Homo-oligomer: A and B are copies of this chain.
Amino acid sequence: MRFTSETSSDGVTQQLFILDQIPGVLWTPEGATGTHPLVLMGHGGGQHKLAPDIVAGAYRFVVECGFAVAAVDVPGHGDRPTDPEYDRIATENAARIDAGEEVAPLVASFQALVARQTVPEWRRVLDALQQLEHVGTGPVGYWGVCLGCGLGVPFVAAEPRVRAAVLGLGGALASAEPAARITVPVEFLLQWDDERVPRSAGLALYDAFASTEKTLHANPGKHAETPAFELDSTLRFFARHLA
């Protein structure tokens, strides 16, 4: 893990890093030493590790909860090069959608393919982060919606260090199978009028989690219209399970 930049503002230190050619970012309380709970955040499709919702959430987790927070770019996103194989599939999928094929199964199989790469990547990043003196091996949480849910569900299912997860804006077709292997507390966000994930698919994904503590938070509005107060709830959820 090689750090390439370190800046601080508002009591938060932001360090950019590269691990095995994976670009990432770590936020910690300024001057932090010793072990801290760590929240890994997965960005959305077409976004990257420094997208506004990631940064906004990360700052609040650090400032209000005293957590460490990290995010990395998904292959083909942010500072990573485009991946010819993924590009070829994306182009093929676009043509199949134009020809009238259903979108959801194509997205689901594409996310499953990418997850086969990101799950081991994220586990290696977690290994490296936990070796840092100012992160350590404290409790770990995961936050991710949209693509961050599609890739997050198989990650949380595979990674026993994750103790609690906030997921959402994803459907059962992509994620029900790994969801059924998740037993940690889950807060699941669903947009009641989501134009990209059918309501029934979102409800079915919530249903699929094996967790005894799982809360569905549904709100009116489209895919990108999750109300701001849900971030308040997310903070309290992680504070309850990681602090």
Contacts A192-B207, A229-B240, A236-B232 hold; do A217 and B217 have CB atoms under 8 A apart?
A: yes
A218 touches B218 (CB 8 A): yes
User: Is residue A233 within 8 Å, beta carbon to beta carbon, of the partner chain?
Assistant: yes
A215 touches B207 (CB 8 A): no
A212 touches B218 (CB 8 A): no
B214 touches A216 (CB 8 A): no
A227 touches B213 (CB 8 A): yes
A220 touches B214 (CB 8 A): yes
| A212, A213, A220, A240 pick with most chain B CB within 10 angstroms | A220
B219 touches A218 (CB 8 A): no
Nearest B residue to A240 via CB reads: B229
B217 touches A212 (CB 8 A): no
Nearest B residue to A190 via CB reads: B216
Q: In which size bucket is the chain A interface?
A: 20 to 34
A212 touches B216 (CB 8 A): no
Q: Mark A209-241, 1 if CB is under 8 A from B, else 0.
A: 001111111111000000101001100100010
Contacts A207-B192, A229-B240, A232-B236 hold; do A217 and B219 have CB atoms under 8 A apart?
A: no
Question: Which residues of the partner chain B approach A219 to less than 8 Å between Cβ atoms?
Answer: 213-216
* Contact partner, A212, options B190, B220, B229, B233, Cβ 8 Å: B220
Cβ distance A122 to chain B, nearest Cβ, rounded Å = 27
User: Is residue A206 within 8 Å, beta carbon to beta carbon, of the partner chain?
Assistant: yes
Cβ distance A51 to chain B, nearest Cβ, rounded Å = 24
Cβ distance A168 to chain B, nearest Cβ, rounded Å = 13
Question: Which residues of the partner chain B approach A206 to less than 8 Å between Cβ atoms?
Answer: 218
Cβ distance A213 to chain B, nearest Cβ, rounded Å = 7
Residues of A within 8 A of B (CB): 190, 192, 203, 206-207, 211-220, 227, 229, 232-233, 236, 240
Give 5 pairs: A residue, B residue, CB < 8 Å, sorted on A: A192-B216, A211-B220, A212-B220, A216-B219, A218-B218
